[in-house]
C-alpha cells in the first residue's frame, strides 16, 4: 500500500539511490541531509512498505515555493504515485504559507509536463540550456 509521508533520515540512502537512477546530475546523499536540516524545506517520500518509490520537495521563500526535486522509480511510473506525492506536497506548501509555486522541467519530459498542467501549473517561461547531460531547455512553470 502506498504511503506518502515527510522524508525521514532513514529514507536518505534509498532516496539518493533513486536520485542517481533518475537524473544525469544527481544530488548526493549529503545534499539531501543538508536539505533536511533547513526549516524552509518541505520534502515527502512515497513508500510501498519500506521501499522508497518516489520523493519530491521544495523550499518555501516568503509566500512562494520552489519545487526542486520530483522523482518516481522508473518501474513504478504511470501508477499515480507522482500525482499523489505532488498533491500532498502542494497541501503542505500551502499550509507553510506558499501562495504561488514554481518548478522547472525538461522541455522533453512530456509526462511530467502533463502531470504539472493537470495540477494547475502553467508554463510562463523558458530557461535556455538550463539542463546538462544532455543540454536542454527548461520550462518554468507556475501555479498561482
Q: Which active-site residues does the annotation give?
A: 104, 116
| Rounded (10°) CA dihedral 31, 35, 38, 40 | 140
Cell numbers placing 84: 499523489
Q: 3-state SS string over 57-68?
A: EEEEECCEEEEE
Question: CA-CA distances (angstroms) from residue 82 to 30, 57, 109, 112?
Answer: 24, 12, 13, 9
Please identify which residue in the block is written with the cell numbers 510562463: 124
Amino acid at each position: 500500500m502506498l504511503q506518502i509521508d515527510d522524508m525521514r533520515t532513514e529514507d536518505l540512502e534509498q532516496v539518493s539511490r533513486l536520485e542517481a537512477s533518475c537524473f544525469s546530475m544527481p544530488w548526493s546523499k549529503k545534499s539531501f541531509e543538508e536539505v533536511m536540516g533547513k526549516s524552509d524545506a518541505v520534502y515527502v517520500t512515497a513508500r510501498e512498505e519500506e521501499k522508497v518509490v518516489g520523493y519530491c520537495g521544495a523550499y518555501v521563500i516568503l509566500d512562494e515555493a520552489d519545487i526542486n526535486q520530483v522523482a518516481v522509480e522508473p518501474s513504478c511510473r504511470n501508477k499515480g504515485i507522482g500525482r499523489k506525492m505532488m498533491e500532498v506536497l502542494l497541501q503542505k506548501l500551502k499550509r507553510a504559507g506558499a501562495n504561488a509555486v514554481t518548478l522547472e522541467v525538461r522541455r522533453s519530459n512530456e509526462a511530467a509536463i502533463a502531470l504539472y498542467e493537470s495540477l494547475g501549473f502553467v508554463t510562463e517561461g523558458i530557461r535556455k540550456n538550463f539542463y546538462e547531460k544532455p543540454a536542454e531547455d527548461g520550462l518554468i512553470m507556475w501555479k498561482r
